[in-house]
Structure 1
């Protein structure tokens, strides 16, 4: 959370119980909403209210504060299925698109030979930002370097078929973007080939069924997992969002 406070403190809000015992109760913090403006896009990184304080309008006030910071920008975030939260999102004008996830151990006989990919670095960020703008209306900017500090970056630099994927130390695709579905599939296969033990492909929406085809071929099981919420923009594709950096 320190990262968000450093780059866009105006999007970070907490709710505090003035009657709390601050010595014993996390300084009285009972809820939070952490969001960020990036160019012409607002995204909600994380949001929550302690269970004992829900149903009192605190979540609505927090979300209202974060949305005021958006200042009319299109919005994007990954939502849980919590009925109170999803109600607030819909009333705020967001469309809720069901997400799927795929889990399991990759069938080692399944991954095809993949070529045309290489490890990426900071010299790729400029074209990655251009690709992000095409897909989601804004680049990731500083988020790209923040992700690179913790994850492997794999890129396709083909002029007509660019794409990238961040892969964590367990071989899971953390964030994936591509100009074409076939490039996205190759990048996802590269991530799955690096996995060890159980893996996860997350944030799959209907426009990104190319990821389901890869997951099924790899022997993974499909399930449901929350929503991608969008306002003033389409669901990005070919694209697998990161839960916190979208």
Structure 2
């Protein structure tokens, strides 16, 4: 498509890119929904605003990793694809990537991924992948290993909650040791991402120098990211997340090396299912670790 230009993202692309993301992932959720699952819902206005603010953060921190496919001829010009990636020291991660359904199969995704991978400049990489056949083929051909993920859903049986000790609310002065833990688990620290997540999520830490760990919890009490030096610490942090949950909850991005999370979820009477892949290149799958969808 001659009218589609793959170029660096600009600040004024954010709204159009959010709309493309919302449509792309809503249709993907509809096409992959299991019969037993509820119907997907369109992204809410609050979630759209949060998405834009998160992408603005990425654009400010590492703009060279942010790319859009822009169709000059579509409705006066609009985003039809996007690839938002970031470098953090020696690690590259893909925060989000997609092409509008009506523009798939035309080579746009390949061009976007090529631009994002060029930004990686040979760094080890990680991201969370859907099951879309075209996308997974592209990832594998780029040298990524695809590790199946599991997720656990349901309402926590509160009679199963154990007494958990050694945890406290996290603070910005924890970021230094958290980054050292990140380096041990995933090649590089989260760096500026910790500041953003701390401002938008609840941080709970286990400060024991021998077995440190942390987790960020969203407004539903769900673990958005969890990292620990030992499975026992990881279990404590996940139990805290489950204790904080309200109504149905979700534990996702569970890979085979993280069976400790499956054990906790089953003990809490959650149901297990499959969900996409963790894609890694030049690094092992992190453990004990539950990745964040956007911050990895």
TM-score, length basis structure 2? 0.81
Q: Which has the higher helix share?
A: 2
Q: CA RMSD in A?
A: 0.6
2:286 is matched with: 236
Bigger relative contact order (CA 8 A; separation at least 6): 1
* Equivalent in 83, 88, 91 of residue 141 of structure 2: 91
Deviation digits for residues 226-246 of structure 1 (CA, Å, limit 9, x no counterpart): 000000000000000000000
1:2 is matched with: 56
* Equivalent in 165, 183, 202 of residue 152 of structure 1: 202
Q: Structure 1 residue 101: deviation in Å?
A: 0.3
Q: Structure 1 residue 28: deviation in Å?
A: 2.4
SS state at 1:109 partner: helix
**Alpha-carbon distance in structure 1 between the residues aligned to 2:191 and 2:79:** 30
**Alpha-carbon distance in structure 1 between the residues aligned to 2:232 and 2:137:** 36
Q: Structure 1 residue 41: deviation in Å?
A: 0.2
2:189 is matched with: 139
2:35 is matched with: none
**Alpha-carbon distance in structure 2 between the residues aligned to 1:52 and 1:138:** 37
2:212 is matched with: 162
**Alpha-carbon distance in structure 2 between the residues aligned to 1:202 and 1:122:** 26
Deviation digits for residues 58-79 of structure 1 (CA, Å, limit 9, x no counterpart): 1000000000000000000000
1:28 is matched with: 78
* Equivalent in 237, 255, 264 of residue 214 of structure 1: 264
Equivalent pairs counted in the alignment come to 242
Q: Structure 1 residue 21: deviation in Å?
A: 2.6
2:20 is matched with: none
**Alpha-carbon distance in structure 2 between the residues aligned to 1:29 and 1:154:** 37
**Alpha-carbon distance in structure 1 between the residues aligned to 2:72 and 2:166:** 58
Gap regions ≥5 residues in structure 1: none
Gap regions ≥5 residues in structure 2: 1-54
1:59 is matched with: 109
Deviation digits for residues 196-217 of structure 1 (CA, Å, limit 9, x no counterpart): 1000001000000100000000
2:24 is matched with: none
**Alpha-carbon distance in structure 2 between the residues aligned to 1:64 and 1:100:** 28
1:106 is matched with: 156
**Alpha-carbon distance in structure 2 between the residues aligned to 1:28 and 1:196:** 38
Deviation digits for residues 174-218 of structure 1 (CA, Å, limit 9, x no counterpart): 100000001000000011001110000010000001000000000
